[in-house]
Structure formats: structure tokens, C-alpha cells
């Protein structure tokens, strides 16, 4: 019923057909079960290289789960994730980084947080120092290098989290609602970091339920409802003329329930 109503197949297929062959990341028949329920249900998507892909939907629709599946943090119950056309493996995951909604700060200084990430990713010596300095400057945390990371403000912590992820030179960066608890100024600063990363060629996959942010940052958009992708396409197109009832209701601020959710 959901598929007929939302016409899932058509837009998703059309988008895939429009996508260039160099799709960086692909999900094929992705399913994930938890607590006896299907939480992610047969997702087929392509994440195109060098693009900013927004994953949108209401709370509990599976945005964060999808990001974790794509990043390889959890294993799908069914289906697979392809990285540059091959099953996602350690090498593929090495080329990715993720920023979480609640930034995970080690109980160390700001600089030590950066240093740890770079060390485990194999950066040593002068290269590590250069990356540390660049990340501190990029995140505008220059004067806070020796401060305990956990005493930073929420905005500073999230900037550090993004800078830490980018310091490891990922090809793809996943961001799970990185500005959900930030004020507008901090949100702007984090968005600026995302723009800079994108300008450097990093593929961005951002989960958000902020339509304004999706407009500001999105090239492509994936709209989810009840663990399924109900609409995909160019971000501005989906946001301006949503085809699915779930996306339309969401953008109009209406409560949308359907029998399958």
C-alpha cells in the first residue's frame, strides 16, 4: 500500500538512472530488524560522489539507523552496502568518518582528541602535526587546544567533532543531526565546516529534520518514512514539490500516519 501510494519505485529508479556510474556508496535491498520489528525496510539508494545528500524524515523513521548501516557501524539483517561498487569492507570504512548528534568527546584536551583520532588512523610525525594545526584553525578552536574537551560549549564540541572527523581525510562524511541541539550561531559554524569539507571534495551524507538546513546544504535528498525511502531526488525539487504524501505532510507540518507505520 505504501509503495503504491507514494510511488516509491518510480522516483527512486529515476534518480538512480540519473546518477552517474561513479556512485560512491550504494545500498541494495537494505533491511535491519530490531526488537522484533523491521526498522529499515528494503532500501535501495545511491550516494553520488562529491555530492551533499540529505536524509530527511520524522523522528524514528530510521535516518540514524540508515547512516549507521551505510557507515558499517551495524550490520544489515538483509541486503548490502557497496562502497565504490564493492561490498563495504575495512578499507572502505577507513575512507569514511562520522559525526554523531551528541559529540563523543574523549576525557582529554581538545588537541588530544584530535591527536587520538589521527594516531589510530595512522597519521604520525609532521603530517599529524600539520593536520592537527589545520583542524584547530578550521574549527576556530586555536586558543582552546589545552582545554578539556568536555568543558567546551555544545557548539564548540560539535565543531571539534567535525574537525576531528575531517582531519582523518575521509572521502565520505556522515553527519547524524549534528546541529539538532545547537543555537543558530553554532549551527551556522557547523554548516560552514560542512560547506568547506564539500568544497574540498568530501561526499556529505547528512541526516536532519530541519528543512531550512536541507535547503541550505542539500544537493540530493532522501526522504524516509517508517524505515522506507519514500522519495528521492534533487533536494530543492523534493522540498518545493514533494510527490509523496509523507514528505508533503512533513513539510506542511502536519502529522502523517499510515497503516503500515
Partner 1 sequence: MGSFMGSLGEAAGLIMALDADLLEIIGLSLRVTLTAVAAACLIGLPLGAVVGALRFPGRSLAGLVLNALMGLPPVVVGLMVYMMLSATGPLGPLGLLYTPTAMIIAQTILVTPIVAALTRQVVEDLHTDYAEQFASLEVRPFDRVVALLWDARLSLLTVALAGFGRAVAEVGAVIIVGGNINHVTRVMTTTIALETSKGNLEFALALGVVLLVIALVVNGAVMTFRASAARMTYA
Using CB under 8 A, list all residues that contact partner 1: 68, 71, 73, 90, 93-94, 96-98, 100, 104-109, 116-117, 120-121, 148-151, 168
Of the pair 153, 241, the CB lying nearest partner 1 is at 153
Q: Minimum distance between the CB of residue 260 and partner 1, rounded to whole angstroms?
A: 29
State the cell numbers at 136: 584547530
**DSSP code, position 123:** -
Of the pair 81, 97, the CB lying nearest partner 1 is at 97
Coil, helix or strand for 97? strand
Of the pair 168, 229, the CB lying nearest partner 1 is at 168
Of the pair 6, 100, the CB lying nearest partner 1 is at 100
Burial of 33 by CB count in 10 Å (0-12 exposed, 13-18 middle, 19+ buried)?
middle
State the cell numbers at 170: 575521509
Tell me, rounded to whole angstroms, the distance of Cα 165 from its chain centroid. 12
Of the pair 93, 237, the CB lying nearest partner 1 is at 93
State the cell numbers at 223: 526522504
Q: Minimum distance between the CB of residue 145 and partner 1, rounded to whole angstroms?
A: 14
Total number of residues shown for the chain: 261
Q: Minimum distance between the CB of residue 94 and partner 1, rounded to whole angstroms?
A: 6
- The Cα-based distances of 196 to 100, 136, 189 in angstroms read 19, 14, 11
State the cell numbers at 22: 561513479
Q: Minimum distance between the CB of residue 12 and partner 1, rounded to whole angstroms?
A: 27
Q: Minimum distance between the CB of residue 10 and partner 1, rounded to whole angstroms?
A: 35
Amino acid at each position: 500500500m505504501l509503495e503504491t501510494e507514494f510511488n516509491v519505485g518510480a522516483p527512486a529508479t529515476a534518480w538512480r538512472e540519473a546518477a552517474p556510474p561513479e556512485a560512491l556508496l550504494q545500498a541494495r535491498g537494505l533491511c535491519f530488524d530490531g526488537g522484533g520489528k523491521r526498522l529499515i525496510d528494503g532500501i535501495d539508494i545511491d550516494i553520488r560522489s562529491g555530492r551533499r545528500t540529505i536524509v530527511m524524515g520524522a523522528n524514528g523513521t530510521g535516518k540514524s539507523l540508515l547512516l549507521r548501516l551505510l557507515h558499517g557501524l551495524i550490520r544489515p539483517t538483509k541486503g548490502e552496502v557497496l562502497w565504490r561498487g564493492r561490498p563495504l569492507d575495512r578499507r572502505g570504512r577507513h575512507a569514511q568518518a562520522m559525526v554523531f548528534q551528541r559529540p563523543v568527546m574523549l576525557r582529554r584536551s581538545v588537541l588530544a582528541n584530535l591527536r587520538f583520532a589521527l594516531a589510530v588512523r595512522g597519521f604520525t610525525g609532521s603530517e599529524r602535526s600539520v593536520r592537527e594545526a589545520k583542524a584547530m584553525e578550521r574549527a576556530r578552536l586555536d586558543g582552546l587546544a589545552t582545554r578539556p574537551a568536555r568543558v567546551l560549549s555544545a557548539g564548540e564540541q560539535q565543531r571539534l567533532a567535525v574537525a576531528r572527523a575531517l582531519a582523518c581525510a575521509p572521502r565520505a562524511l556522515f553527519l547524524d543531526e549534528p546541529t539538532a541541539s545547537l543555537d543558530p550561531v553554532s549551527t551556522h559554524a557547523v554548516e560552514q565546516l560542512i560547506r568547506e569539507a564539500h568544497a574540498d571534495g568530501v561526499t556529505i551524507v547528512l541526516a536532519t529534520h530541519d528543512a531550512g538546513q536541507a535547503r541550505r546544504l542539500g544537493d540530493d535528498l532522501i526522504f524516509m518514512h517508517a524505515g522506507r525511502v519514500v522519495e528521492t531526488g534533487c533536494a530543492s525539487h523534493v522540498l518545493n514539490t514533494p510527490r509523496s504524501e509523507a514528505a508533503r505532510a512533513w513539510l506542511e507540518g502536519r502529522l502523517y500516519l499510515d497503516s503500515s507505520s
